[in-house]
Structure 1
């Protein structure tokens, strides 16, 4: 089986998106709409849990939101005015239904459902301790650790038990939880993973991105602040800040690639930032050429910015088909090499005999870039130059992004010149880390106190990586089959 995303398979992938709503007559239907807007954040599975005032109802399924939650009978089976949903992209381990979120459990305080975006970097250590104390795990997702920590806490109230659980967790998380007492939404103290709050009518909405608020007609109120817990119930909206304040480090790659360009992240238009990234890239790495060509679709805004600043015409030299299914079963190895053309094809009439600049958002393993460059050569390009709208990705992410191990990251193994030879381009250049910060409105990266989590570029991890430091690789797989979604 070959995926029909030959250009996307070599990307860093955000693991999931969350969406929750409290106070809507058709809560589950609203969640399904919100998840449609977040589908890009996770395409392997989706789930919705709802509370009708008496019971919890959950439907989880492998695959996209469409096809699983566009049936009236499924939505009718999820009654209630409070619901939460999740789209998932797994990292390692199996992709079984038991790992699809929201995860649900009956606790002493009542039912508890949780949808999680991020990765708990000490989950394996916590799981070992919990198992020794008698906990029985039903999934291989680190998200289940949160449920067990809440269940085993010695504090009396659910809120205090929840806070107790969070204080034992390292890493990144944005959570939307359903309880009989109301909805809980929270964000890790560094704000690594995003979470926003909105309102539609009398209902409150939480989502990974503002584009999901747009989908349901909700008005953006604000971002959930790093380290903040927001509780929505029949008593109104309450905010708690149980953590000592620290300088936030939101994920910088949300601006580069993860978020949809029509979202607003940290008060800034993602599309505008990506265009400005292109401007900075053109300032730092000019080259003479006939056309600036984006690698669709993520390279398009940066390519527009590069073209506008350089004065070189922007053209669509790679045409993407939007009508191909997610996977294609190959009838034989003999045509496997044709799979790349299922999704994209060179605009030969434009490219033939021309010097072109390809703009892409990143290079991970380099396999995709190699295919793209060869496609341009086959179409008759005279020269192929590549400009990357981010710094070299030299380090793995442990905060909720599917990243290859460092040994498989091309930039961790080769110099830029060696990478250029490997992917067979006439020249290759990356945006500098300071250029990326300038595109975000900063003068430069503050080496003493970085404004973002940029560990995938710099190796500067903002939290402890307990599981990476304390557990051997073989034990990691046996103790916890996958990182969270």
Structure 2
């Protein structure tokens, strides 16, 4: 297998969305664990579409791994690959790079990572971002560590290697106490499946049961695909160590703090058929549309989602406003590998390759377009132009999140702040820039109400991580500050 990445991105014509960095999945106590992991990763593909990896353990053949660029469906479905991954214990990872992404993607950056310790091997897969990774990396290199990748996750392996603790779970605890930022981790030894969430619980991680086996996953939708039952969420700051013999052991290795789960998981990252905090993601997004209709009503003929992420909010907006819902924009679901190496002419077609306007429906109508976010604004302008070209009388944008004016440092692919439209423009300036008849975002309080906080956002102690909207970072991004990033309070 070549170490060179494929000549395309999963979304070559959609660079105007925030993307999750990755998803993790693990299973213990099932026959052919690799097949379960591949199915789980397929369900989590929305969280990372650049590359994927699987590690399994078999008593006869030891640890086995496979790492590939591309979609799970294209890389982990062949018998040739899956036969190299025997065993009843396995973990997997799907990746969209943030940390370690400054240059071309390399296979060595694809997780899970593996380390051989004196007490045996261990593999680790990480969702999130370590905000002090550069400082840790410098320290570890000075002390003799030799890094094989550019990923922040490898710091954890080296910290474990230097720990004086006897067991691998204990070494992992020791290592993670040095780590700052966000981490939801699935790891494995020869006999154990391990799951950990950082004290703030920024990224999701759930525990499930499949037959006599156990499952860890970034989201509940990946439990559904293998017929597993949701047991519960892993708590913020909790480590679970699972064995076939003793089941689930729960540990609390970190000092307790008030959780700050990522609110954008509700808005966009998680699949709408997942459950977060006991709430349906779909229902939360529908309620965002309800709140948006209350906060920003407008006279119009149709409510149309920008597919697919704007659909639940558009349904809620329609239901609350009484304005008919319609599929004014149709998504081409099958463009994935059609244009592996697009020509310049095809690239200039831009968003039209992915989305097409239902002209007969739109012509002459006042249209409300509901989308999940505005990042750079480039895609929003193209969609508006398509709607007007189809003969729409008016175009109104309603956005199911507050203005994204700050970058995320906790595991999301975010542009630099100066490239975020809302960082330099007011709402009215953005409306003028996009050249639409009106533009409104849901308020931060309205978003909090939609996710189940009836009083809105607690300004003193926010219930979620909303740094991308508020600029209030629950963990100081020390590496970025060292590089010159200025925090809100210091502006």
Which consecutive residues of structure 2, in runs of 5 or more, have no partner in the other structure? 1-6, 486-491
Distance (Å, rounded) in 1 between the aligned partners of 2:79 and 2:407: 42
Distance (Å, rounded) in 2 between the aligned partners of 1:179 and 1:53: 12
Distance (Å, rounded) in 1 between the aligned partners of 2:392 and 2:211: 54
Which consecutive residues of structure 1, in runs of 5 or more, have no partner in the other structure? 474-485
Is 1:325–2:331 an aligned residue pair? no
Q: Deviations over 1:300-339 (max 9, x none)?
A: 0000000000000000110111121246256643453223
TM-score by length of 2: 0.94
2:424 aligns with: 413
Question: Which residues of 2 match residues 9-408 of structure 1 at below 5 A?
Answer: 9-54=15-60, 55-91=62-98, 92-93=101-102, 94-233=104-243, 234-326=245-337, 328=339, 332-408=343-419
Distance (Å, rounded) in 2 between the aligned partners of 1:431 and 1:162: 41
The 3-state SS of whatever aligns with 1:66 is: helix
**More displaced, 54-63 or 332-341?**
332-341
- The CA deviation at 1:6 is 6.8
Distance (Å, rounded) in 2 between the aligned partners of 1:424 and 1:63: 37
Distance (Å, rounded) in 1 between the aligned partners of 2:323 and 2:484: 51
**More displaced, 325-334 or 393-402?**
325-334
TM-score by length of 1: 0.95
1:477 aligns with: none
Is 1:449–2:461 an aligned residue pair? yes
- Which of these residues, 438, 450, 465, is aligned with residue 439 of structure 1? 450
The 3-state SS of whatever aligns with 1:192 is: coil
- The CA deviation at 1:464 is 2.1
The 3-state SS of whatever aligns with 1:116 is: strand
Distance (Å, rounded) in 1 between the aligned partners of 2:340 and 2:240: 45
Is the CA contact (8 Å cut-off) linking 2:14 and 2:351 kept in structure 1? no
Residues 446 and 472 of structure 1: CA distance in aligned 2, closer, same or farther (over 3 Å): closer
Distance (Å, rounded) in 2 between the aligned partners of 1:277 and 1:4: 28
- The CA deviation at 1:378 is 0.6
2:471 aligns with: 459
- The CA deviation at 1:343 is 1.3
Distance (Å, rounded) in 2 between the aligned partners of 1:103 and 1:421: 47
Q: Deviations over 1:10-63 (max 9, x none)?
A: 110001100000111111100001111001110000110001135100000000
Distance (Å, rounded) in 1 between the aligned partners of 2:187 and 2:10: 34
Residues 232 and 329 of structure 1: CA distance in aligned 2, closer, same or farther (over 3 Å): closer
Distance (Å, rounded) in 2 between the aligned partners of 1:9 and 1:308: 31
- The CA deviation at 1:157 is 2.7
Is the CA contact (8 Å cut-off) linking 1:4 and 1:327 kept in structure 2? no
**More displaced, 52-61 or 142-151?**
52-61
Distance (Å, rounded) in 1 between the aligned partners of 2:238 and 2:179: 15
Distance (Å, rounded) in 2 between the aligned partners of 1:7 and 1:376: 18
Bigger relative contact order (CA 8 A; separation at least 6): 1
Is the CA contact (8 Å cut-off) linking 2:13 and 2:347 kept in structure 1? no
Q: Deviations over 1:238-257 (max 9, x none)?
A: 11001121110000000000
Is the CA contact (8 Å cut-off) linking 1:293 and 1:303 kept in structure 2? yes
1:482 aligns with: none
**More displaced, 334-343 or 193-202?**
334-343
- The CA deviation at 1:68 is 0.8
